[in-house]
Chains A and B, each alone.
Chain A
Amino acid sequence: MSTLVQETAPSTYKEGFHDDDIKARHKVPKGASHEVIDYMCDVKGEPDWMRAFRHRSLDLFLKATLPAWMPGLRDIDYDAITYYASPIDKSANKWEDVPEEIRKTYDKLGIAKEEQKMLGGLGAQIDSEMAYHNIQETLSKKGVVFLSCDEGMKQYPEIFKEHFAKSIPPEDNKFAALNSAFWSGGSFVYIPKGVKCDVPLSVYFRINAEQFGQFERTLIVCDDDSFCHYVEGCSAPVYTTNSLHAAVVEIFVKERARCRYTTIQNWSTDVYNLVTKRAFVYGKGIMEWVDGNLGSKRTVKYPSVYMLGEGAHGEVLSLASADKGMWQDAGAKMVFMAPNCTARINSKSISGHGGRASYRGLVQVNPQATNCRVQVNCDALILDASSRSDTYPVMEVDGDLVTVEHEASVSSVSDEQLFYLTSRGIKKEDAVSMIVNGFIEPIVKELPMEFAVEINRLINMQMEGSVG
């Protein structure tokens, strides 16, 4: 049994507890092996094509190398990680049916039944499996599907097979291959034509096991003229050893549809968070990623939008806060494949207490993408001399009928700003908090209120003691 270790995480990380009551019902030996895949397929009762897909993906993972620009991942010991663990036998759709010890964990995290009231649907994943998935009756009557990804594969095999791994094939990158081999849990969402799902669907991801790899897989299909807002949050206990979270999220936004995907990532500082997120957007569709990264040891995540149809729009709002021991390598990718598309990237990062925040972005305009326009803004705030901020944008333009604009700035909390506030009787710590809150305001105001409150709470906690 591990105990809370103060050195690896600030004591303010209130999600850092772990529940030893939760016992894995299914757990496999450590290490990424074909045997684990066979075990998972048997337990889950998966079709043969998925078994073959998983095996092929594992081979790709074992062969794949890391790109040279992606440093800081060399110390991951893939053999020390458990790739599948489940404390439950099946996903419940009534909160009462969720095993009591898991319900207790979620109660402690504040993800109570009450929260369902303002959500269209709620999902909760613990380790490898979804413990709970439910959706409001009004939405399910309209044909909205909100299931765990495993259930989605069983109940809607046609929609699933048509889209699964189409935007992120296992060949895409090492961690997409790893996820493809061991994926388990995550959400399957289908919004039928013309249906506007105006209350958010929300999922909470929790890692409870130690030295564990969580590989949830999410597939969202927004059919023509539909709308959906999907919100995810995550946390993990604090251990002395490292865990791995390598999710894959694929989104298909069909014609004139709109999808917003909001993430509040608050992993403990022993989690490697290596996530591939991609949306394919068709004619006049709109994809918006709101990506908040506040935790983890190392985050590598660049939500991307591939604009495949004329007039598509992509948007990424990225907020990263790198506190002690963290390296947030976040950003965005905008790929233009069709005419008259537009996109916007707005990134804000804060680094303090020795943390490192990097923006890494790609804007790629292909020859057929005429009359496109993209604007990128990156602002970084660096709070003390031990911290670091980087900006690595790449813009590749083929052709002339485009407008690409990129602007970035890095600055500190200036003495003038502090003087102004402190001379009005505001304590220095509060003044710094105010300045930081003002800095991130444009992104925070895009969040659902409960999440905005949560973000402000987390940021203020990270600010504590940051005035030198």
Chain B
Amino acid sequence: MTPPNTTQDPAWLRQQREQAWKTFAALPLPTRRDLDWQRFDIRKLNLDKVADGKPSVTEKLSTVPAPGVIFCDMATALAKHPHILQEYLGQLIAPDEPRKFNALNAALWNTGTLLYVPAGVHVELPVEILYTFTGQNVAGFPRTLIVIEPGAEATVVQKFTGGPAPGTNGAPSVHASGTEVFVKDGGRLHYISYQDFNPNVYDFTLKRARIGRDAEIDWVIGMFGGSFQRYDIECEMAGEGGTSYMYGVCFAENQQQFGQFTKQHHRAGNTTSDLLFKNVLRDSAVTNFTGLIKVEKNANGTNAYQSNKNLVLSEKVKCDTRPILEIESNKLRCTHGATVGRLDEEQLFYLRARGLPEGQARHVLLEAFLEPVLARIQVPAVYQEFSELIHHKVSR
């Protein structure tokens, strides 16, 4: 890794990148001694060996869906809408935040997307971002910025694919993405993001949203590919009456490792949040869910829920779950639940007694286990794609 080349950047961005690079360079690689990393093995990752050359990246954006809406890649955004970037970029992901891989993205991002929806505009059709990076031993750093102005509404579908060509062994490719989302007062965002990277990709994702008064966001996250993924997804309810729904589905197999770190941060009163993360683990897969609900003083009337359910299908898997509550308000309702278990023998028996062969009965139950998350996808084509991805893995 070499420091960012900032010769083309405006002063504010140059400052951000340099600060972020300092942060990145100062921090050691996480090890198993770090609480969040105890179960993960990222020793195969050698950042010094990752080539600095750009991977081949293609970003396909659907057409601009409504008048006044800005939907473009980051290079265009920098050229044409620098004021928007300057106003929002780095607001939620600060360049001096001590997280090594997020700082790496903040220092080196070179691709990405801007979506800006003006006040009151409802974008009917989903906007789509299809992102692919190709190459072995390369690094990709996309940055996404979404701004939903007051009363506006949009649906975003973001898909990440690519990595080293399937079948190639050797050094992994690195992918670190950063996404900042602002949903202003009364705005709404439906956000579906999923990845189906090739094996041998190590991905570090951070998504952060700030939700205004009476605004709402619903996320559906799909985690399917890659060798390692650390997914941080955080929502800050900054205005009264805000709502966040987070749903995640992860199918972990072979030696895949997934870390899911979620945060439901209630800073204002009468806010609501719900979370459901469902994981299936098979072979020698590893997952760690760490979910925090934080309710600040005076965030009265908070209603927060969090659930992490894990289905384990092999004796070699490692499955951790850490649902955390930190509560400083006394007018609230806050609940969480977590389970780790195998397929229900009684349900299996029920299906087999009705003539389903055991293998098929298992498939049905697996797909049914994940369905409550998929049911939250409001774009039919994407629902279909999630279903097919899961079906393909289930019936391997």
Q: Which of B85-93, B168-176, B315-323 contacts A (4 or more CB under 8 A)?
A: B315-323
Q: Does B70 contact A (CB under 8 A)?
A: no
Q: Is the CB of B320 within 8 A of A396?
A: yes
Q: Is the CB of A391 within 8 A of B324?
A: yes
Cβ–Cβ < 8 Å partners of B320 in chain A: 394-397
Cβ–Cβ < 8 Å partners of B342 in chain A: 400-403
Closest to B334 in A: A410
Which one of A69, A370, A408 has the highest number of Cβ atoms from chain B below 10 Å of its Cβ?
A408
Q: Does B329 contact A (CB under 8 A)?
A: yes
Q: Does B338 contact A (CB under 8 A)?
A: yes
A408 to B328, CA, bound (A): 16
Q: Please encode chain B, from 174 to 201, with 1 for each CB lying within 8 Å of some chain A CB and 0 for all others.
A: 0000000000000000000000000000
Cβ–Cβ < 8 Å partners of A403 in chain B: 339-342
A384 to B300, CA, bound (A): 11
Cβ–Cβ < 8 Å partners of B312 in chain A: 397, 399-400, 402
Q: Does A441 contact B (CB under 8 A)?
A: no
A401 to B341, CA, bound (A): 7
**For chain B, which range describes its interface: under 10, 10 to 19, 20 to 34, or 35 or more residues?**
35 or more
Q: Is the CB of A390 within 8 A of B324?
A: yes
Closest to A370 in B: B315
Q: Is the CB of A412 within 8 A of B332?
A: yes
**Minimum C-beta distance from B233 to chain A (A):** 20
Q: Is the CB of B330 within 8 A of A385?
A: yes
**Minimum C-beta distance from A212 to chain B (A):** 33
Closest to A415 in B: B331
Q: Is the CB of B325 within 8 A of A391?
A: yes
Name B322's contact: one of A382, A383, A394 (CB within 8 Å).
Answer: A394
Q: Please encode chain A, from 61 to 79, with 1 for each CB lying within 8 Å of some chain B CB and 0 for all others.
A: 0000000110000000000
A218 to B186, CA, bound (A): 61
Q: Is the CB of B336 within 8 A of A408?
A: yes
Q: Does A404 contact B (CB under 8 A)?
A: yes
A341 to B246, CA, bound (A): 34
Q: Is the CB of A395 within 8 A of B35?
A: no
Q: Is the CB of B315 within 8 A of A404?
A: no
CB-CB under 8 A for A393 and B339, given A400-B312, A401-B315: no
Q: Is the CB of A404 within 8 A of B339?
A: yes
Q: Is the CB of A408 within 8 A of B325?
A: yes
Q: Does A454 contact B (CB under 8 A)?
A: no
CB-CB under 8 A for A384 and B341, given A69-B35, A397-B320: no
CB-CB under 8 A for A404 and B341, given A383-B330, A391-B324: yes
Q: Does B313 contact A (CB under 8 A)?
A: yes
Q: Is the CB of A408 within 8 A of B335?
A: yes
Q: Does B337 contact A (CB under 8 A)?
A: yes
CB-CB under 8 A for A400 and B313, given A384-B330, A395-B321, A412-B330: yes
A408 to B325, CA, bound (A): 9
Cβ–Cβ < 8 Å partners of A389 in chain B: 325, 327
Q: Does A10 contact B (CB under 8 A)?
A: no
A245 to B338, CA, bound (A): 34
Q: Does A398 contact B (CB under 8 A)?
A: yes
A398 to B310, CA, bound (A): 12
**Minimum C-beta distance from A359 to chain B (A):** 9
Which one of A380, A382, A394, A410 has the highest number of Cβ atoms from chain B below 10 Å of its Cβ?
A410
A391 to B293, CA, bound (A): 10
Q: Is the CB of B330 within 8 A of A408?
A: no
Q: Does B393 contact A (CB under 8 A)?
A: no
Which one of A370, A380, A404 has the highest number of Cβ atoms from chain B below 10 Å of its Cβ?
A404
Cβ–Cβ < 8 Å partners of B321 in chain A: 395, 404, 406
Name A409's contact: one of B35, B310, B318, B335 (CB within 8 Å).
Answer: B335
Q: Is the CB of B318 within 8 A of A396?
A: yes
Cβ–Cβ < 8 Å partners of B324 in chain A: 390-393
Q: Is the CB of B318 within 8 A of A407?
A: no
Q: Does A12 contact B (CB under 8 A)?
A: no
**For chain B residues 258-313, which have a beta carbon within 8 Å of chain A?**
297-298, 300, 310, 312-313
**Minimum C-beta distance from A395 to chain B (A):** 5
Q: Is the CB of B341 within 8 A of A390?
A: no
Q: Does B32 contact A (CB under 8 A)?
A: no
Q: Does B333 contact A (CB under 8 A)?
A: yes
A459 to B333, CA, bound (A): 23
A69 to B322, CA, bound (A): 14
Q: Does A333 contact B (CB under 8 A)?
A: no
A382 to B334, CA, bound (A): 11
Cβ–Cβ < 8 Å partners of B326 in chain A: 388, 390
Q: Does A31 contact B (CB under 8 A)?
A: no
**Minimum C-beta distance from A69 to chain B (A):** 7
Q: Does B5 contact A (CB under 8 A)?
A: no
Q: Is the CB of A399 within 8 A of B315?
A: yes
Q: Does A446 contact B (CB under 8 A)?
A: no
**Minimum C-beta distance from B303 to chain A (A):** 11
Q: Does B384 contact A (CB under 8 A)?
A: no
Q: Does A101 contact B (CB under 8 A)?
A: no
Name B327's contact: one of A390, A401, A404 (CB within 8 Å).
Answer: A390
Q: Is the CB of A410 within 8 A of B315?
A: no
Cβ–Cβ < 8 Å partners of A115 in chain B: none
Q: Does A6 contact B (CB under 8 A)?
A: no
Q: Is the CB of B323 within 8 A of A406?
A: yes
CB-CB under 8 A for A68 and B35, given A399-B312, A400-B317: yes
A405 to B213, CA, bound (A): 35
Q: Please encode chain A, from 358 to 392, with 1 for each CB lying within 8 Å of some chain B CB and 0 for all others.
A: 00000001010010000000001011110111111
A408 to B338, CA, bound (A): 9
CB-CB under 8 A for A402 and B330, given A390-B324, A397-B312: no
Q: Does A417 contact B (CB under 8 A)?
A: no
- Interface CB pairs A-B, < 8 A, 23: A380-B327, A385-B330, A387-B328, A387-B330, A388-B326, A388-B328, A389-B325, A391-B336, A393-B338, A397-B318, A399-B317, A400-B317, A402-B340, A403-B339, A403-B340, A404-B340, A405-B338, A406-B336, A407-B336, A410-B327, A410-B334, A411-B333, A412-B332
Residues of B whose CB lies within 8 Å of any CB of A are 35, 39, 297-298, 300, 310, 312-342
Smallest CB-CB A-B distances: 9 pairs:
A391-B325, A404-B340, A400-B312, A409-B335, A410-B334, A406-B338, A399-B315, A397-B319, A389-B327
Known: A405-B341, A410-B335. 18 other contacts (CB 8 A): A380-B327, A383-B330, A385-B300, A385-B329, A388-B327, A391-B323, A393-B324, A395-B322, A397-B312, A397-B320, A400-B317, A404-B340, A406-B323, A409-B334, A409-B335, A410-B333, A412-B330, A412-B332
